[in-house]
Amino acid sequence: MDRLYAPWRSGYVGSADDKGGKDACIFCSMFAQSKDEEHFILRRFTHTIIMLNKYPYNSGHLMILPKEHLADLEQLAPPVLHELIELTASANAILKKATTCHALNVGLNLGKAAGGSQASHLHMHVLPRWTGDTNFLATLADTKTISLDLPKMYRELKPHFEALPTR
């Protein structure tokens, strides 16, 4: 695989080493602050938080996370699990409407070996997809193009999530 020099990702890869502790968790650190716009937090609910992924696989890549620092589904109390799934369904509907995407990827990476880059804090991924959103760069150069500006996407999606009923 060729390497793409990407110094803007140093904050991500050099941040929490994900040894499992809440103190080392990049998500818990963001949640403790009152900088929702800076951290692309779209909305805080009773048990969960919806945010844009700062290092997306695709434009509009959302994450839905429990506020509590937990790694596995079986650790979630029923109200948290219920809210997580309800908000995943709401996020699907919002992304379809707001981005006019053709499809969605939804899923969890539970554990480091499953691809979880921050495996100690469970997070549901919701990604809009478009026909042809992978192109020759991904095929030939193993490089992904993200075509939408993250702050612009945040401003476009925020009103949709603010309009959701309180859970």
DSSP calls for 138-164? HHHH------S-HHHHHHHHHHHHHTS
- Identity (one letter) of the amino acid at 93? A
Residues spanned by the domain of 43: 7-162
Identify the pLDDT of residue 166.
84
- Residue 116 C-alpha from the chain's centroid: 12
Higher pLDDT, 52 or 16: 52
Backbone angles phi, psi at 121, to 5 degrees: -125, 105
67 found inside a domain: yes
Q: Please report whether residue 33 resides in a domain.
A: yes
The whole model's pTM is what? Answer: 0.80
CATH of residue 129? 3.30.428.10
104-160 pLDDT per residue, tens: 999 998 888 887 778 899 999 999 998 877 654 444 545 555 556 889 999 999 999
**Is 167 inside a domain boundary?**
no
Residue 2 placed within a domain: no
Exposure string over 59-89, b if 16+ CB within 10 A, otherwise e: bbbbbbbbbbbbbeeeebeeebbebbebbbe
Residue 19 resides in a domain: yes
Q: Is there a catalytic annotation at residue 123?
A: yes
* Neighbouring C-beta atoms of residue 42, cutoff 10 Å: 24
Query: Domains in the chain: how many in total?
Result: 1
- C-alpha 96/C-alpha 106 separation (Å) is 13
Q: pLDDT tens digit string along 6-36?
A: 555 555 555 444 455 566 899 999 999 999 9
pLDDT for residue 148? 66
Q: Which of 47, 121, 123, 125 is catalytic?
A: 123
Beta bridge partners of 50: 43, 64
Residue 91 lies in a domain: yes
Judged by phi (left if over 0) then psi (alpha if -120 to 50, else beta), residue 46 lies in alpha
Distance of alpha carbon 32 from alpha carbon 67, whole angstroms: 10
Residue 167 token pair: 């859970």
More confidently predicted of 55 and 126: 126
